[in-house]
Structure 1
Amino acid sequence: MKILLSNDDGINAAGLWALATHVSEVAPVAVVAPDREQSATGTAITLRQPLRVRKADSPLNGMECFAVEGMPGDAVILALENLVTGPVDLVISGINNGPNMGDDVLISGTVGAALQGYLRNIPTVAISTAGVDSANLEVPARLAAIIAADIQAGKLPKDIFLNVNVPDLPLGKLKGIELTVLAHKTNIDSVKEGHDGRREFYWLVRRQLDFEAVEGTDIKAIERNCVSVTELHANLFRRPMITGLDAVCQEWFIKLRQ
C-alpha cells in the first residue's frame, strides 16, 4: 500500500506533517501539496498556464515530497499522473487548519484535493480540525492512521470518499465519532465593505455560525464534541449508504482511545 498526502494549507503546514508522521507508520507515504496556502479554492484546477514543481525538503527522512505552484487539485493530479513512484492506494487530504463542514465542502480546497483521488477510483479521506491553529493535531493525525489501516485491511469499500472533522480538543474530551450528513449551511456568507482611498472593495468573510444545527449533521456532531464522519458522493448530499459504517466509526473511537 502507498498513501498520497496533500492539502490546501501548503507544503509547510503543521497539519500536513502531523498527518505524515502518523500515517507513515501504516504504509509508505508521498507528499505532494501546493507551495503556498490555497484555502477555499474548491475543485479548481489550472488549465491555462503551466504548472511548476519543485522537490521539497521533508522533515521525515526518505519521503517523496514535492511542492506544486498551483491548486490543491493540481497537486493531486500531478502526483497521481506523474510525480509519485508506483501506484497510490489511498489519498488523504489535510489536516486542514479549520473545519470543512456543511455547504462549505463545495469550496474547500481540502475536499477539492481529495476529490481528484476519488475521481480516479482511489479511496479518499479529507480530514480537518474544527479549530484554527489547533493545539491538538495529534488526535486527527492518529485517527487518519486508524482509518488508513482499516482501508489497507479491506474493511472499507475501495470507492469510499470520507470527509472527517475533528473537534479541537484533547482526546480525553472527545465524546465519540458520529456518522453524519452535510448540514445545509455555510460559514462564508458575510460581506464587509471598505474603501482604499481610490475605490470601494468588498471582502468575503467567515463568521461564527449562530443557528441551531440539525440533528444528524456534521455541524451538530462537532457541537457535541464528537468527530464527524461524512460519506461524500458525486451527489454530495446523499445520505450514507455503506452498510456497517456507523459501527466502524465506533470501532475507530475505541482504537483512538487505546
Structure 2
Amino acid sequence: MQRTLRTLLVVACTTGAAFSSLAVAAEQHSPSPQSTKPLTGLRVLLSNDDSMQAAKASHADGLGLYEIRKALCDAGADVVVMAPWQVQSGKGTAVTNGGTLTLARRTQLPAGYENDCAGTRSGSPVYGICLSSGPCAPDSPSATPSDTVKFALRTGLAAKAGWKNGPDLVVTGINSGPNVSAQVNDSGTVGAAIAAIDQGVPAIALSSSGDASQTRFPVANYRAHARFAAAFVSGLRERNLFTDRFALKVDYPDVSAGQRAKAPAWTSVGHGQVVWHAYEAKSPAGSDSYDITLGMCPGRPGDPCTETVRDADSTTLLDRGHITVAPITADRTYGVRADGGRELSRIEQYVTRQAPRS
C-alpha cells in the first residue's frame, strides 16, 4: 500500500532559490541538435542504499554512486543525486511515516570525482537526506532509500533542480555487493527502484559484486559496471524501451582480477539465499542480547541456501560470471502474470541479443 510521506519541514544546507530559478531556465532550453552523446536531454534521479558518503576504505558506502553518476553524465545525461545520508543497506522498501527530512548538499565531492557532470543544466547537485529538523550531523539518522525516491519525485526535484515534470529515469546504485535471490527482498537498492515505478517512473537497480572475499568492493568492478550501465541505458532509450510496469535489476560480476564479464543474461530472481543472517547470544549465558552477524551462505544440499530456480540470477552471476538482468514488479504476487508482456519480450530480446557485452 502506498503511503503518503509526511514531510513536516525540509531544510536545505545551502540557499536554493537562485539555483532553482537557474535550473528552471536551463531545463526550458532545448538540447543542441549537434550533440552526439546518446543520453543528451535525459534527466536521471540517482539514489542508492549505501549513502553518498564514500568514505570507507572498503568502498561499501557509496563509491559506486559516483562511478555511475560520472558514466551517465559522460553519456550526456543530467543527473541529480538524492541519496540516504547514512548506509541503509537491507532496508528493502521501508519508509518513514513521520518526522522531518533535511537535505544536505555535498559541495566537496570525493577525490577524483570533483569535476564530473560539469556543465549540466541542473548543476547535478549531490544531496544526502537525513531525519532531522536541523542540519544533518555526522550521527543524524538517515532517510531510507524509498524515502529519498518518493521525496525526490513528489517534492525534492521540483524544489532543488527545477524539474517540474521529471525525471525521465530513476537509477539506484551501484550497490556494494550483488542483490540476488532471496536477498532481493532485503535490498534497499531494489526497494528504491520499486518506489520509482510505484510513482510511474521507469527505474533500473544496479549492483556490483565484491572481490573474492565479498568484503571489499573494488573500484574496477564499479567502473566496469558503470560503463556497461550507461551503454545499456542508451540502448533502452534508443529502442524506446523505458517502462514503469516493472523495474530492471542489473547485477555485475567480479572483474577485479582482470577477467571479463560474460554476456548479459535474462534471468529470474532465485529462491535460495546467498547471504546468511545469524543471531548469536552475547555473554554472559542467558543474556537477552544477540549480535547480528552476516556471512556467505554455507550452501549445504537441501538447506535454504540451495538454489532451485533453473535460470536464477545468483547462479548465473556468481557461478557463471554473466551480467544478469531480471525484471522486478512491485506486487511480488506468486503465480500472477504481470501486464506488459510485449514490453517484457522486447526488453528480453534486447538483453540477450543487442545489449552491450561488457
TM-score by length of 2: 0.66
Pair 1:20-2:107 in alignment: no
Pair 1:125-2:213 in alignment: no
TM-superposed deviation, 1:164 = 0.9
Task: Tell me how far apart the structure 2 counterparts of residues 81 and 95 of structure 1 sit (CA, whole Å).
Answer: 23
Instruction: Say which is worse superposed, 80-89 or 237-246, in terms of deviation.
Output: 237-246
Q: Secondary structure at the match of 1:182?
A: coil
Residue equivalent to 2:254: 168
Q: Residues 99-132 of structure 1: CA distance to partner in whole angstroms, max 9, x if unpaired?
A: 1111211111111111111111111000101214
TM-superposed deviation, 1:213 = 5.5
Residue equivalent to 2:270: 183
Instruction: Say which is worse superposed, 127-136 or 238-247, in terms of deviation.
Output: 238-247
TM-superposed deviation, 1:225 = 0.3
State the AA in 1 paired with 2:347. L
Pair 1:206-2:294 in alignment: yes
Residue equivalent to 1:50: 100
Q: Secondary structure at the match of 2:148?
A: helix
State the AA in 1 paired with 2:71. H
Larger Rg: 2
Instruction: Say which is worse superposed, 37-46 or 193-202, in terms of deviation.
Output: 193-202
Q: Residues 215-238 of structure 1: CA distance to partner in whole angstroms, max 9, x if unpaired?
A: 211012111000110001134367
Point out where structure 2 has 5 or more consecutive residues left out of the alignment: 1-41, 54-61, 131-142, 300-305
Residue equivalent to 1:139: 224
Instruction: Say which is worse superposed, 170-179 or 91-100, in terms of deviation.
Output: 170-179
State the AA in 2 paired with 1:251. Q
Point out where structure 1 has 5 or more consecutive residues left out of the alignment: none
TM-superposed deviation, 1:138 = 1.2
Q: Secondary structure at the match of 1:96?
A: strand
TM-superposed deviation, 1:54 = 1.4
Task: Tell me how far apart the structure 1 counterparts of residues 192 and 144 of structure 2 sit (CA, whole Å).
Answer: 8
TM-superposed deviation, 1:155 = 3.2
Residue equivalent to 2:183: 104
1:225 pairs, out of 321, 326, 340, with: 321
Q: Residues 75-110 of structure 1: CA distance to partner in whole angstroms, max 9, x if unpaired?
A: 111211222221100001000001111121111111
Q: Is the 8 A contact 1:134 1:168 kept in 2?
A: no
Q: Secondary structure at the match of 1:116?
A: helix
Q: Is the 8 A contact 2:271 2:309 kept in 1?
A: no
Q: Residues 132-153 of structure 1: CA distance to partner in whole angstroms, max 9, x if unpaired?
A: 4322211111122122213332
Number of positions where the alignment pairs a residue of Structure 1 with one of Structure 2: 255
Residue equivalent to 1:83: 156
- Aligned-residue identity in percent: 27
Instruction: Say which is worse superposed, 236-245 or 80-89, in terms of deviation.
Output: 236-245
TM-superposed deviation, 1:246 = 2.9
Q: Secondary structure at the match of 2:97?
A: coil
TM-superposed deviation, 1:31 = 0.6
CA 1:42 to 1:99, structure 2 compared with 1: closer, same or farther past 3 Å? same
Q: Residues 6-59 of structure 1: CA distance to partner in whole angstroms, max 9, x if unpaired?
A: 000001211000010001123110011011101001101111221121112243
TM-score by length of 1: 0.90
